[in-house]
Amino acid sequence: MSLDVTLSNPPCGTCGHVPEGYSDNITHNLNTMAQQAGIYMQVWRPEECGIKTASQLIEPLTVGIALLKSDPERFKKFDSSNGWGLYENFVPWLERYLEACINNPNAEVSADR
């Protein structure tokens, strides 16, 4: 099972062109690590904490990534024993998601679980 995140850009008000957004997925096995980093709700359940646009994810992702990087050994304790859900994959995934949010601040956020 995985978490699918999508950033959908609104159409241009002038020409109607819809800029490409972003989508990616990651295993649910990382949800405990996300909880410990304080970003579970924002990443897995954005609609439940009022997040509608990518710009609203920038601060929590920035803070969560900084926390994860500040103490890797603390968070590696939550690595999945089956290898599907590791710190070494989660941090780069979050960094890509943050970059996409920065590049698409007006995009609508959705998460499918």
Strand order in the sheet with 2-8: 22-27, 2-8, 108-112
Q: Give this prediction's pTM.
A: 0.95
**6 pLDDT band (50/70/90 cuts)?**
very high
With beta carbons less than 8 A apart as the criterion, state whether 42 and 60 touch.
yes
For residue range 52-96, what is the model confidence (pLDDT) as tens digits?
999 999 999 999 999 999 999 999 999 999 999 999 999 999 999
Domain spans of the chain, in order of start:
2-12+19-112
Angstrom distance (rounded) from CA 16 to CA 9: 11
Say how far residue 67 (Cα) sits from the centre of its chain: 15
Does pLDDT of 5 surpass 90? yes
For residue range 7-58, what is the model confidence (pLDDT) as tens digits?
999 998 899 999 999 999 999 999 999 999 999 999 999 999 999 999 999 9
- Interior angle at CA 49, CA 46 and CA 51, nearest 5: 50
**1 pLDDT band (50/70/90 cuts)?**
confident
